[in-house]
Structure 1
Amino acid sequence: MPDVDNTASPELKSHNIAFMYFHLLIDILLKMSANIDSSSKQDLINHLRRVNNEQSALKVIDEFEQNYKAENAIWWYTRDTFLYVQLNEALRRSDFDVLFAFRFFIADLYKQLTIEHERLQTDYAAMSNDSSILKVYRGQSISNEELALLRENQNGFFSMQSFLSTSLNSNIGQIYVESAAQPTDTHVRILYEFNIDTRLQTTKPYAKINHLSRFEHEDEVLLALGSVFHIDNVQFNDINQIWQAKLTLCDDNSFDLYGLMKQYASEIVYDRVSPGFLLYQLGKYTKAKEYFQKILKEKHLTDSEKAHCYRGLGTVAAELYNFDEAHENFETELQIWLRLDDEDNIMETRKNIGNMLFYKGKYQEALDCLQTAGLYFRLKNNFMEYCRIYGMIAHITGAWQQWNDCLVCYEAQLESSEQTQMK
């Protein structure tokens, strides 16, 4: 349950970063759904069979395999089985391997919820301002750490990393909080009250799902993962001996991280390879390497996707100082771009190869690669890449103690940096 307030303490700021990358990961998985095929469903079924050994669970998995349809995603989610438990557990832990297995189900659930959300907004559009507000409730047990985040960040923002089941009936919320685990040294019981203004246009989807739910009489409203809330108030109810929190659903652009997330999202290519680069940015190098290797084994992979997988493998290896391995992967990538006659990527890869040759102490070969790439990017007016390349060339001439050449390179780098700032 990370907050999204960038004025918070160091502990909360670390949650901000996790929040941003988690949402980018989910965004990637959702946008990858356009390329989802039958193997995606089989990935989930195989995963479920690996982690569920009981006969009753295997029976449900067989039923899921035979009968699941995208239009029944909400029904399957609300059914009282391990499915929603394991999905939300993976969401809360940001467990990439499990989330990747669940990718088609997440996409179906999100799509169906979006359709129902649009219907709800149409129904509420004609109502008065007072009638446009939904109040929904949720009772549960949370950890002391989660409670501390809520209390410390009052009047700030946070988001729950899961789909959120709530009820229009406050009594249902009360029943759930009373049936939650008794308070301990590590956990407390809490009743959430969420205010939802149906007039807001840029929230994550939410909808009444009675007609789609396995439980038709709980007045259930389901909110999509990533919904952002303002924390209005958190206090302890002495009479009921529970914590109570009042929150308000917000527009996505209400919080400070939204602009940064939007910028990152605009730079992402939404294909099968992109999750690997996000894992790399998160510092999960082993996971990133495993992901790139897994994707390379998939059928119907385009040459461009293969090349980017090898770039990813090379980038991870370089980060771990495995320069021979990185060099080998970049060379494999280069051969693909040469076949495709993709000049931009050819030069980008030559730059990466030049960097690896430098770290391997092969300065002349590195210089040849970097000068070729540097000239190309200079002619393309790509001053940022040109700047980076001449920084590396300066290191090479410095290593040779060619101080005049080194100075020229640093001056070229400075000029390129100034050109970049002017653009």
Structure 2
Amino acid sequence: MKILIHYLDLLNTIVVPAEAQQISPDSTSRKQVAMFLCTQLIKQVVIRIKFENDHKSIFVDFCRTHYEQMKEQMNDIDDFDKNYRPKSALVWMTKPSFVSRMLHRILRTYEIDIIYKMGFIIKHIHTQLTLLHENILAVLKDNTAVYRSKSLSNTEFDTLIKNNCGGLLSFSNFLTATIHKEEAVDFLRHRVMAHPKMTAVLFEIYFEGTDRSTENACALLNNSNSNIGPEDGTICFTMGTVFRIKSITEETLDQSMNIWVVRLTLVDDSDQFFYRLTEPLRSNDVQTNSLAYSGKLLIEMGACDRAERFYLRLLSDPSVYGQPRRLARLHNGLGVIFTFKGEHLKALAHYETSLKISLDYMTPDHPDLAPIYKLMGDSCFNNQNYAQALQHYERSIRLLNNQSMQHVDHSFIENLKNSIDKTKQLLA
């Protein structure tokens, strides 16, 4: 079995129901949406960020500290340090190495601080897949579908997939698939034999036409771009590629086992549900403060402590104190985390620190300070300090009144006005 096949069962399967009204407030449904958005946000940030030349050195130093007692891994790290180039990213992802192991783990567990350290590799892989994208057309001439195996617990299958035909499906990692159906089925036979209580799932991925999403690149792997030969017929999809579930059927193979065949098609940029679902990621606040929003998503995923550790690790980096904008966003992010944890005094302290730092590079009447005052007001409100909350809310709306109306987030203003009215009623 190829190492990539073994990684398959370690991937997160993320499924969002077909319509927003089907997304219930229960923890499973909300967690899936948060995971979906977090994966898309990580991809967007990594793709657009400009990594400096020292990113590789920072990552190498981190790995040497982590693996200092493991000679074999240290040799691998030396090899990476000397020979890694952007065009070799797929090679490092597809061969057994500390890079492939770390990459698969961190994208599965959302270890955002390490994802950032490996961001240059993720970006290089995505860029390679984009440049190699046209070679997929040769595969489509002789193959109507590519295949990927996955075993799930009965509960996972019933909750995530069985009743979600028409929904969106994604994986948090780079996804490999094969043109050889029997190879994928053979993997399922081995998995069910070893784990008879698991549900065997065969994903059939169909390409409808040749148009692709600009962010959902895929390519055929071969000797020149990876550690896999062309005879293997392996297709690699970029991280977070989004599919639509077209059908779900149960089949019996050789009267020996049942498998569920899940037919998938690629979702392109014109898909209206995907566009609406990812709308929060396009807001100005998220675009300029993606760290805070990623912390919020980690909390909704049930990874609150991981989010807190992520921000505290970033704050322990001395270099951040020379970057006031980034430092302000980190404190804002910690404020968001403590708000969701219900620790409103701690949240307020971080929002106040964020404001103080922001005032070092913004004028006191700058409209970008309005969201911070709103968050401070929310913290005071939740601590039943309504008079102080009202002061912060009114300061926030005064700042927005100084801004050109064409640049105002009207939903934010409406929410702010509701907060003011509610607070005034409590003070009356």
- State the match for 1:226 in structure 2: 240
Name the SS of the counterpart of 2:132 in structure 1. helix
Q: CA 1:32–1:49 in 2, change beyond 3 Å: closer, same or farther?
A: farther
277-286 vs 2-11, which deviates more? Answer: 2-11
Provide structure 1 residue ranges, at least 5 long, that are not aligned to the other structure: 125-129, 402-423
User: Does 1:214 pair with 2:237?
Assistant: no
Q: CA 1:166–1:44 in 2, change beyond 3 Å: closer, same or farther?
A: farther
- State the match for 1:184 in structure 2: 195
- State the match for 2:96 in structure 1: 80
User: Does 1:20 pair with 2:39?
Assistant: no
Q: Deviations over 1:229-268 (max 9, x none)?
A: 4343432323053525252332335766402233112115
User: Does 1:287 pair with 2:306?
Assistant: yes
User: Does 1:345 pair with 2:368?
Assistant: yes
- TM-score normalised by the chain length of structure 1: 0.76
User: Does 1:260 pair with 2:283?
Assistant: no
Q: Deviations over 1:159-199 (max 9, x none)?
A: 23322222223454355445546242432445443322451
Q: CA 1:314–1:174 in 2, change beyond 3 Å: closer, same or farther?
A: closer
Q: Deviations over 1:329-377 (max 9, x none)?
A: 3333333333323411344434444554555666655554443433343
* Bigger relative CO (Cα 8 Å, ≥ 6 apart): 2
Contact preservation (8 Å) 2:252, 2:258: yes
- State the match for 2:8 in structure 1: none
Provide structure 2 residue ranges, at least 5 long, that are not aligned to the other structure: 1-12
- State the match for 2:85 in structure 1: 69
- State the match for 2:352 in structure 1: 331
Q: Deviations over 1:17-38 (max 9, x none)?
A: 1443233333344235324552
- State the match for 1:414 in structure 2: none
90-99 vs 220-229, which deviates more? Answer: 90-99
Q: Deviations over 1:267-322 (max 9, x none)?
A: 15677951332222442444333333333435365332222222223333344454
* Residue correspondence of structure 1 range 382-401 to structure 2 within 5 A: 384=411, 386-395=413-422, 397-401=424-428
RMSD: 3.8
* Residue correspondence of structure 1 range 190-205 to structure 2 within 5 A: 190-197=201-208, 199-202=210-213, 204-205=216-217
319-328 vs 332-341, which deviates more? Answer: 319-328
Q: Deviations over 1:191-248 (max 9, x none)?
A: 4433224512327111111132213131221122223143434323230535252523
* Residue correspondence of structure 1 range 131-170 to structure 2 within 5 A: 131=141, 134-139=144-149, 141-148=151-158, 149-154=160-165, 156-170=167-181
Deviation at 1:392, TM superposition (A): 4.4
2: distance between equivalents of 1:174 and 1:67? Answer: 37
Q: CA 1:307–1:256 in 2, change beyond 3 Å: closer, same or farther?
A: same
Contact preservation (8 Å) 2:335, 2:351: yes
The partner residue of 2:332 within 285, 299, 311 is: 311
193-202 vs 104-113, which deviates more? Answer: 193-202
2: distance between equivalents of 1:98 and 1:377? Answer: 37
Name the SS of the counterpart of 2:39 in structure 1. helix
7-16 vs 272-281, which deviates more? Answer: 7-16
Q: CA 1:215–1:118 in 2, change beyond 3 Å: closer, same or farther?
A: closer
Give % identity: 17
Q: CA 1:293–1:133 in 2, change beyond 3 Å: closer, same or farther?
A: same
* Residue correspondence of structure 1 range 267-286 to structure 2 within 5 A: 267=283, 274-283=290-299, 284-286=303-305
The partner residue of 1:6 within 12, 18, 39 is: 18
Name the SS of the counterpart of 2:336 in structure 1. helix
Q: Deviations over 1:42-100 (max 9, x none)?
A: 34662586379654334323322332221111111111345434433443344445534
- State the match for 2:6 in structure 1: none
2: distance between equivalents of 1:92 and 1:152? Answer: 24
Name the SS of the counterpart of 1:335 in structure 2. helix
Q: CA 1:113–1:78 in 2, change beyond 3 Å: closer, same or farther?
A: same
- TM-score normalised by the chain length of structure 2: 0.75
Q: CA 1:386–1:172 in 2, change beyond 3 Å: closer, same or farther?
A: closer
Contact preservation (8 Å) 1:207, 1:223: yes
The residue identity in structure 2 corresponding to 1:288 is A
2: distance between equivalents of 1:347 and 1:57? Answer: 49
Structure having the higher Rg: 1
- State the match for 1:405 in structure 2: none
Contact preservation (8 Å) 1:41, 1:104: no
The residue identity in structure 2 corresponding to 1:249 is T
Contact preservation (8 Å) 2:16, 2:168: yes
Give the count of matched residue pairs.
395
- State the match for 1:235 in structure 2: 250
1: distance between equivalents of 2:307 and 2:226? Answer: 37
351-360 vs 273-282, which deviates more? Answer: 351-360
Deviation at 1:108, TM superposition (A): 1.5
Name the SS of the counterpart of 1:207 in structure 2. strand
